[in-house]
Amino acid sequence: MNMNRTKLIGLAWILLASGISILWGSSLGPAETRWVDFKAVYYGTRCLLEHHNPYSQSELEGVFRSEGRESPLASLRDHVGVTLYVNLPTTFIIIFPFALLSWGVAHVLWMTLTAGAFVLVALLMWNVCASIAPDVSIFLLCILLANCEVFFATGNTAGIVVCLCVVAVWCFLQERFVPAGILCLMVSLAIKPHDAGLVWLYFLLAGGVYRKRALQSLLFTAVLGLSAFLWVSHVAPHWMADWHSNLETISAHGSLNDPSPYSVSGRTGGMVIDLQSAVCVFRDDPRIYNPVSYLICGVLLVIWSIHTLRVRFSTRRAWIALAAVVPLTMLVTYHRPYDAKLLILAIPACAMLWAEGGKTGRIALLLTGAGIVMTGDLPLTIFVILTNNMRIPIAGLPGQILTVVLMRPVPLILLAMSIFYLWIYMRRDAERGLP
C-alpha cells in the first residue's frame, strides 16, 4: 500500500479513537463530580492567589464556599474521606494563568488544551512508526487512544504531563523544535516528576547533546520550583507541615493512595498500579512492601543506567531504552492507570521488533499490547467488574499468588514488559559488541 495512503488511513483511525475518549470522557459522571481533579488544582491556585494556604483543608474549602461551590469531592465524601491538596507547589505556577479566569472558561480551555495535546502526541508517534510497522503501530495506538476517558472526565494533570513528556522525547530524538522540547520536559517535570523523571534520566545518561538538553530542562524546572517555593512560603509559612500531613492522611491504610486491595480505590479501575500494590498482597505492611519494591525496581534501574552510560547513543537504542524504563516508572512509586498512558513511548520499540519478525517481535507485541490494554480505562474497568465478586482465599502462598494474578495483574505485566525490553536493550549490544 502506498505510504501516503497508509498515513491517511492511520490519521483517520487516530482521530476516531481520540474522539471516543474525548467525547465519552467529557460526558462521564454527574456534573458535580466532573473534572474533579482539575477543580482541585484550579481552586487550590485561586486559594493561593487570595493569600490563603491551599494545603489547609479549612482554608481551601473556604475558597470553594466563597465562590458558591462545593469541595471537589464533597458528594463523594462518604467514600473518599476528606479532600486534601497534595500537588507540588510548582503546579500553582503552571495553573496560574487558568486560575485568573472564571471556572467556566478555565475548565473548557484546560480540556481543549488536553485534547489538542492528546491528538498531537498520537500523530507524532504515528509519524515515527508508520514507516516501520504501520499495522501493529496503529492497532496499539488506537487501543491506547480509545481508553483515555479519565483524562477528560477528571481533567487530571497527568493528561498534560504525559503529552508534554512524549512531545519532548519526539523533539529530542527527531532533532526538531528542540527548544520546545526542553520547555515541554520542564513543565512535565514540574507538575509530575514521578511521571517524567526516568525519561529525563535517560537523556541525562545518554550523554552528549542529550545530556545538555536534560540539564537545561532541569535548570528551568529548578527556577520554576524555587519561584513556587518562595511564593507559597510567603503566603503560607507553614505549608510544608500541612502538605506532609495531607500526604500521610491520603496514603494511610485504607485511604485513597493506599496500594492495598482494601483501599478506597483498591478494587476500581482507578487502582494504584505500582509494584507495592502487588507485593502488599503477601505482606500488607509498608515496612515490607516498600523496601521489596524499591529493591526490585532499583536493581533493574541500576542495570539499565549502567548500560545506558556504556553504549553509544542511537535513535534505535533510545526507543528500546525508553520502552524498558517507562513501565519501570509506573512501578517504582505511586501511579494510577492514567499515568500509564506514557506507555505510548514503548510503541516505536515494539514496532521495530515486530518489523524484524520472529519470536522476539511476537513477545514484544504480546507484552506491550497487554500493558496498554490492562491500563486502558475500559478494559481495566471491565476486568475489575468481572473479578470484584470473586472470593479467593488469600491465606497461604498459593492463594496470595492467585490474588495477585487476578486482582493485581497490571504491575506484573509492567514488570515483565520492563524486564523484556531491558533484556533486548542489553542482548542486542552484547551480540554486536559495544559500543
In tens, the pLDDT along 226-238 reads 999 999 999 999 9
Average pLDDT, the chain: 89
125-178 pLDDT, tens digit each: 999 999 899 999 999 999 999 999 999 999 999 999 999 999 999 999 999 999
Residues 122, 137: contact at Cβ < 8 Å? no
Q: Evaluate if pTM is beyond 0.85.
A: yes
Residues 318, 345: contact at Cβ < 8 Å? no
Tell me, what's the pLDDT at 66?
A: 82
Confidence check: pLDDT of 78 > 80: no
C-alpha–C-alpha distance, residues 308 and 301, integer Å: 10
**Segment 42-65 mean pLDDT:** 90
H or E element at residue 280: none
Confidence check: pLDDT of 201 > 70: yes
What residues does each domain of the chain span?
3-427
Q: Please choose, from the candidates 317, 337, 315, 318, the residue with its C-alpha nearest in 3D space to the C-alpha of residue 327.
A: 337
Tell me, what's the pLDDT at 170?
A: 98
pLDDT over 70 for what percent of the chain? 91
Confidence check: pLDDT of 80 > 50: no
Confidence check: pLDDT of 250 > 50: yes
**Segment 299-327 mean pLDDT:** 96
**How sure is the predictor about 279, in pLDDT bands with cuts at 50, 70 and 90?**
very high
Backbone dihedral angles phi then psi of residue 130, each to the nearest 5 degrees = -60, -35
Tell me, what's the pLDDT at 383?
A: 87
391-429 pLDDT, tens digit each: 665 667 777 788 788 888 999 999 999 999 999 999 866
C-alpha–C-alpha distance, residues 278 and 412, integer Å: 8
